[in-house]
Amino acid sequence: MSAPDDPRLLGRDVRRIAFDEATLRARVAELGREITAAYPDGDLLVLGLLKGSFVFLADLVREIQRPLHVDFLVASSYGDATVSSGDVRLVYDPETVLEGQHILLVEDIIDSGRTLSTLLALMTLRAPRSIEICALLHKRIAKELSHPVRFVGFDAPNEFLVGYGLDHAENFRHLPYVASLR
């Protein structure tokens, strides 16, 4: 499947659509049900990792049928490259108090796992009641992630993916599907 006629693509052809809109919608709804069932009590803080998680998070929180708060983290690691540099910095830190809360860290895609390992270490220092990860996509190649990823949308192919929040050099975040680049 390709999308050569999509005016959102800057004239660039994509290799293929990896996850189309209907597939994403159905799985996000299921994740919402899984997350709803996993938290019977306590405050839930959904922490989105910007920018990549913004589309996924917006859809996901509307599928979670319990009270919750939303905040964001901004970490920087890739720049414009398609390969992780391993240098992860926190450039926005939430003002919300994390102590005693159930935290659900929402990530677009797990590649090397470096971003999440670094953030988990930082978040754990603030004594949350629990901390879990929800990733839309997981490449299953992360060697550096010791914490299990509790909620995963899809296993991802080892290709560079864009759309539904994921970018290449800030392009393609607004695609309603996930595609792989040539």
Applying CB under 5 A, which residues contact Mg ion? 52
**115 is a site residue for ligand IMP (CB under 6 A):** yes
State both tokens at 128: 């949350």
Q: Which is nearer to Mg ion, 94 or 165 (CB)?
A: 165
Q: Let me know if 111 is a catalytic residue.
A: yes
The residue within the footprint of ligand IMP, chosen from 59, 108, 134, 136 (CB under 6 A), is 108
Closest CB 115 distance from ligand IMP, rounded Å: 3
Buried b (16+ CB within 10 A) or exposed e, 95-111: eeebeebbbbbbbbbbb
Yes or no: say if 154 and 17 are a contact pair by the CB < 8 Å rule: no
Task: Tell me which residues in 116-135 interact with ligand IMP (CB under 6 A).
Answer: none
Q: Which stretch binds ligand IMP (CB under 6 A): 24-32, 40-48, 97-105, 159-167?
A: 159-167
Yes or no: say if 51 and 167 are a contact pair by the CB < 8 Å rule: yes
From ligand IMP, Mg ion, none, interface partner of 105 (C-beta below 5 to 8 A by class): none
Any residues with CB less than 8 A from the CB of 41 and at least 6 apart, and which?
A: none
Task: Tell me which residues in 15-54 interact with ligand IMP (CB under 6 A).
Answer: 52
Task: Express the helix, strand and coil content of the chain in percent, nearest 5 each.
Answer: 20, 30, 45
**149 is a site residue for ligand IMP (CB under 6 A):** no
Closest CB 80 distance from ligand IMP, rounded Å: 11
Q: Which stretch binds ligand IMP (CB under 6 A): 27-35, 38-46, 124-132, 161-169?
A: 161-169
Yes or no: say if 103 and 132 are a contact pair by the CB < 8 Å rule: yes
Which of 6, 59, 111, 167 is catalytic? The answer is 111
DSSP H or E segment with residue 76: strand 69-76
Q: Cite the active site residues.
A: 111
